[in-house]
Amino acid sequence: MDRKKYCHIRLWITVIIAAGFLTIGTGFSRDLSASNEETYRGLKIFSDVLQIIENDYVDPVDTKELVQKAIQGMIRGLDPHSALLPPEALEDLEIDSEGEFPGIGIHITLQNDLVTVISPIEGTPAFKAGIKAKDKIIKIGGVTPKDLRDAVSKMRGPKGTSVVVTILREGVPDPIDFTLVRDIIPVESIKSMSIRPGYGYIWITNFTGNTTEDFLKALEKLESSTVPLKGLILDLRDNGGGLLNQAIKISDIFLEEGKILSIEGRHKKNSRVFKAHPDKVKRTYPIIVLINGGTASASEIVAGALQDQKRALLIGTTSFGKGSVQSVEPLRDGYALKLTIARYYTPSGRSIQAKGIEPDIVLRHKMIGDETNYDDGGMLKEKDLKNHIDANPDEKKDKKETAPDIKKEKDPATNKDKKELGKKTKMREFDYRLGPLTIEGLQSDNQVMHALEILLSYEIFKDKLKN
């Protein structure tokens, strides 16, 4: 082994140890606590193991990669949502937060090991060129994509640059080449329409930097129609979360006073209470919120706030149960640390961490006219994830606790484990909500229709009481 290289590594580890000691404070510089001595011994073992691997492993190793894997393993041992973000992952996170990205504008998934178009985004280069749902992308720029991330990376690029996308289309014998000029693609987090006069539907897909602005535009359009808005269906199903501040702002639109949520961390700087403010527009119409096992994090904040404040009725199935808050700290060389810093609590003070939000009315999703029940019982929940944190910090976990004994398979779309049910449920690979919303699509959704029936019944019952 290169002696100089090893000395550099040992020096790097020593610097880490020294930096840790500098944070201890005055009075501890001479006498190390038992905890710090244990830390030192652990890092010394790490240094020894690194040396042995470099000397004796069967193949040459990349020291930088080994150290990164060691850091990632340390962080993953904390909880499922903390992670070391390499530059490309940090870039994806920033794009999701900003609400727009440079690309061609398509939703894709992995089906039968092929990158498959779910739908083109209306008005984008892919849409204008004629790329269709279920097209199979076999090459991008003449190269076959290795996986979804690779496909996304190849299709994104500076605005104005070109990329050739080769697809296979059912019924067409030969591959088709599309030369597309990349543009700025907005991340659409809001879809809405009027189901019938006086009754609106808004689906929030995730919480990005422009979600509240787009939500208000959609809401005001529904409110300004000829017939006053008498009821709203807010769809948070399969919403995996996003920006905390956007969830708070959405909740505040419908709340006049009281708590929206509180977050509590180990340190005061990570603890805060968020309260509602009186709105210029008084919105008193009834609201029904749809949730399911894919409703997580920021979307659970909205659902929990409206439920606890008695502002909305929740319909669906129990939500995911992610009641923690993460911050992203920049590191050197384009890396970042995503770290869990706090738990959050709904207005009533309940933690939904690893528990989820229970709907007021349990109703499983089923497409009307289709015998298949789209039960989300097969989804992994927060409670199923290894190393998930407890709902409250004073709860004592069994140190030998492991994840539930679940037979798992790989979800090809995410490369993550998912529960395998004894009887598999049909996957909504081409959900009607991914394309432009239609009355026909909403009318085929039993949860949406049940919500509408409740709103209609409420209006009739309210008028009867007046008489």
Express each pLDDT in 306-352 by its tens digit: 999 999 999 999 999 999 999 999 999 999 999 999 999 999 999 99
Does residue 182 register a pLDDT over 60? yes
Q: Is the pLDDT of residue 70 over 70?
A: yes
Q: Is 308 a catalytic residue?
A: yes
Bigger pLDDT: 1 or 434?
434
- The CB density around residue 87, as the number of other CB atoms within 10 Å, is 11
pLDDT tens digits, 257-291: 999 999 999 999 999 999 999 999 999 999 999 99
Q: Which of 96, 135, 308, 376 is catalytic?
A: 308
What is the structure's pLDDT at 108?
84
Give buried/exposed letters for 195-221 (b at 16+ CB in 10 A, else e).
Answer: beebbbbbbbbbbbbbbbebbbebbee
Question: What distance in Å separates the CA atoms of residue 187 and residue 121, rounded to the nearest whole number?
Answer: 9
What integer pLDDT is reported at residue 15 of this predicted model? 41
Residue 411 designated active-site: no
Task: Categorize the per-residue pLDDT at 131 as very low, low, confident or very high, splitting at 50, 70 and 90.
Answer: very high
pTM: 0.80
pLDDT of residue 374: 58
pLDDT digits (tens, 9 = 90+) for 32-60: 466 788 888 889 999 999 999 999 999 99
pLDDT given for residue 381 in this prediction: 86
| Averaged pLDDT score across all residues of the chain | 84
CA distance 132 to 88: 28
Q: What is the mean pLDDT of residues 407-436?
A: 43
**Confidence class of residue 218 from pLDDT cuts 50, 70 and 90?**
very high
- Report whether pLDDT(424) > 50: no
User: Could you say which of 154, 259, 322, 338 is catalytic?
Assistant: 322
Mean pLDDT of 92-104: 81
Contact call for residues 240 and 292 (beta carbons, < 8 A): no
Q: Give the pLDDT score at 359.
A: 98
Mean pLDDT comparison of 59-68, 175-184, 366-375, 414-423, highest-scoring range:
175-184
Contact 271, 342 (CB under 8 A): yes
Poorest-pLDDT segment among 102-106, 359-363, 375-379: 375-379
Would you say 330 and 360 are in contact if contact means Cβ atoms under 8 Å apart?
A: no
Strand intervals (E) in 104-149 = 106-111, 114-120, 136-140
* Reported confidence tier of residue 238, pLDDT bands at 50, 70, 90: confident
* Percent of the chain residues past pLDDT 90, beyond the cut: 60
| Confidence check: pLDDT of 31 > 60 | no
Confidence of residue 11 (pLDDT cuts 50, 70, 90): very low
Place 122 in a pLDDT band, splitting at 50, 70 and 90: confident
The answer to whether 297 is a known catalytic residue is yes
Residue 184 has pLDDT above 60, yes or no: yes
Do residues 374 and 428 make contact, with C-beta atoms less than 8 angstroms apart? yes
Supply φ then ψ for residue 432, to 5 degrees.
-60, -25
Mean pLDDT, rounded, for 92-105: 82
Pairwise pLDDT comparison (119 vs 208), residue with the higher score: 208
**Which pLDDT belongs to residue 369?**
67
> Higher model confidence: residue 368 or residue 404?
368
Among 82, 192, 251, 297, the one annotated catalytic: 297
**395 confidence band (pLDDT: 50, 70, 90):** low
Task: Return the minimum-mean-pLDDT range out of 3-7, 351-355, 409-413.
Answer: 409-413
